[in-house]
Chains A and B, each alone.
Chain A
């Protein structure tokens, strides 16, 4: 039991961070506007949660210009994918145990 709890990742223990990771698991990359629409959050909220995931090295941020408009897009890293997969497995086994 203790083992499983250890796999519950604190970094994903928030609806928005969970959402960002879910989207990035099944999409090669997602830009800021797309994530905002999907998650239904404000700019500031999304930016701060994305920063938290970036600090853990779970996602990478790519900034570039499309024409004159700045475009920010996010990608899940290999370690981010592994950590998220472990997190889902942990959630599942916790539910199955009880």
Chain B
């Protein structure tokens, strides 16, 4: 009987330590949705590239603007979905979406992510188009690894997988879109489902 109290105490301690450092309301379903948006986006981008094949893609061309538009829509939709689904999950766990640990998660995600974003813009400026796909993948992967200390450990493995895909992508330039679909699409769906079945479905 006394023993049970000590066990409960230890359980409480562990619980508080985790809850105060990690944001555990991150929705797995949001990951799956982001992956689906990315696959749809990649499909449209492939159609556009087919249609305009043979043309040289420049910053001013319609092809480039359309693809940029698709990428931006995928990003915005994914972020909105993640916020909404995580908000509901946080409410179910009687936690707040915007708290001490989610702030820390976001800041640590955004440091590599913003660096990668600026780097990509600079690559565009210097017309090094071939490196854009691998650079976005690698920096996104690094952002996930960095943020994973403040949320579920699955995010760490997602990050590592995407970094590897990014490195492979560097070697096979010309298949950027395929690797993008693999990294941002398939990986999100796989790891999102793992997280959904592990944590959300209870």
Contact A94 B20 (CB under 8 A): no
| Segment among B7-15, B119-127, B130-138 that sits at the interface with chain A | B7-15
- Chain A residues contacting B3 (CB-CB under 8 Å) are 94-95, 98
| Number of A residues with CB within 8 Å of any CB on chain B | 20
B101 to chain A, nearest CB (A): 9
Asked if B91 is at the interface of the complex by the 8 Å CB criterion, the answer is no
Asked if A1 is at the interface of the complex by the 8 Å CB criterion, the answer is no
B25 to chain A, nearest CB (A): 13
| Number of B residues with CB within 8 Å of any CB on chain A | 19
Contact A19 B16 (CB under 8 A): yes
Per-residue CB contact flags for chain B residues 76-116 toward chain A (1 = under 8 Å, else 0) read 00000000000000000011100110000000000000000
Asked if A72 is at the interface of the complex by the 8 Å CB criterion, the answer is no
7 extra interface residue pairs, beta carbon distance < 8 Å, beyond A22-B13, A95-B6: A19-B16, A22-B20, A26-B20, A27-B20, A34-B20, A34-B99, A40-B94
Q: What are some 10 contacts across the A-B interface (CB < 8 A)?
A: A15-B12, A18-B9, A18-B13, A22-B12, A22-B16, A34-B20, A34-B100, A88-B13, A94-B6, A95-B3
